[in-house]
């Protein structure tokens, strides 16, 4: 039971820590986190009971492997339930549940033999440091490029860029889809009489794929030049989570 409570509290506190470091943007999502973290507590309770009575080495190994796995399973289940809305959370729920699962089962491994506290403390420190790193990754801006369109580009030509340069007509026949690897785009301003579109790539898009997409975009006669946006430039960057 202590392990289950620890997993639940650890997940929620991980979300709170992220919100605190991000100016409390999206704090209204916490009530949903309180609800969707309950299955993790149940799974950790069951896993902790199965690990009970085993040797300390096996318990800690189980905590290190099974704990994050349970967090991942909860993430998949909630993603299947919510669909794309899973990305609407203002904190990285995946990392919160991975941390909660590991923390809860670490408690389950430590409680029967408290003299093993150095191992438990090492795992806890590892979990906190890992959470800090992955939260920084989730908060970092996505790789971006700025498209400087040809001078005096008309609204129709700008729409052509959206639909035929960084996107393609949808298979459904309605609207268009962004090219694979591109997470979003938007008009970010003007340089004189040149419209500027800022295009963002998913973080999981490889460097090779980003370079290929950039080369493809450069071929358009509607695009005069393409400039990489430095990660230090946070102008117009959304504060929501990005994996």
Residues of the chain with pLDDT under 70: 233-240
Output the pLDDT for position 212: 95
Burial class (CB in 10 A: 0-12, 13-18, 19+), 104: buried
pLDDT number for residue 15: 94
Residue-level pLDDT at 235: 62
Q: State the pLDDT at residue 234.
A: 63
> What pLDDT score was predicted for residue 22?
83
Cα gap 213→55, rounded to integer Å:
52
- HSE-CB at 137 with a 13 A cutoff on CA atoms is 13
CATH code of 144-229, in short, is: 3.30.70
The pTM assigned to this predicted structure is 0.77
DSSP letter for 205, please. S
The contacts of residue 242 (CB under 8 Å, 6+ apart) are 138, 140, 141, 142, 183, 202, 203
Q: What is the pLDDT of residue 174?
A: 79
Nearest to 6 by CA among 28, 37, 50, 52: 37
**Sign of the Cα pseudo-torsion (15, 125, 135, 100, in order):** negative
The pLDDT tens digits for 178-222 are 999 998 888 888 999 999 999 999 988 999 999 999 999 999 999
Task: Quote the CA–CA distance of 49 and 71 in Å, as a whole number.
Answer: 17
Phi-psi category of residue 192: left, alpha or beta, with phi > 0 → left and psi -120 to 50 → alpha = left
Q: Minimal CA–CA distance to 239: which of 62, 23, 6?
A: 23
- Domain residue spans of the chain: 2-139, 144-229
């Amino acid at each position: 039971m202590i392990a289950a409570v620890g997993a639940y509290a650890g997940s929620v506190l991980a979300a709170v820590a992220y919100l605190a470091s991000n100016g409390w943007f999206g704090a209204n999502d916490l009530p949903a986190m309180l609800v969707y973290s309950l299955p993790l507590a149940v799974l950790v309770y069951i896993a902790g009971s199965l690990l009970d009575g085993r040797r300390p080495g096996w318990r800690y190994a189980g905590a290190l492997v099974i704990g994050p796995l349970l967090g991942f399973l909860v993430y998949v289940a909630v993603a299947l339930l919510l669909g794309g809305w899973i990305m609407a959370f203002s904190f990285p729920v995946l990392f919160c549940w991975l941390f909660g699962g590991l923390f809860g089962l670490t408690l389950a491994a430590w409680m029967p033999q408290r003299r093993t506290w150095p191992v438990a403390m090492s795992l806890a420190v590892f979990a906190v440091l890992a959470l800090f790193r992955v939260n920084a990754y989730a908060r970092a801006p996505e790789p971006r490029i700025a498209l400087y369109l040809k001078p005096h580009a008309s609204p129709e030509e700008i729409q052509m860029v959206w639909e035929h340069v960084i996107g393609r007509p949808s298979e459904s026949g309605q609207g268009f889809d962004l090219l694979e690897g591109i997470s979003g785009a938007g008009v970010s301003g003007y340089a004189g009489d040149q419209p500027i579109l800022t295009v963002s790539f998913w973080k999981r898009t490889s460097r090779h794929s980003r370079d290929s997409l950039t080369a493809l975009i450069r071929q358009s006669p509607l695009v005069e030049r393409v400039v990489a946006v430095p990660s230090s430039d946070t102008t117009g960057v959304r504060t929501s989570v990005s994996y």
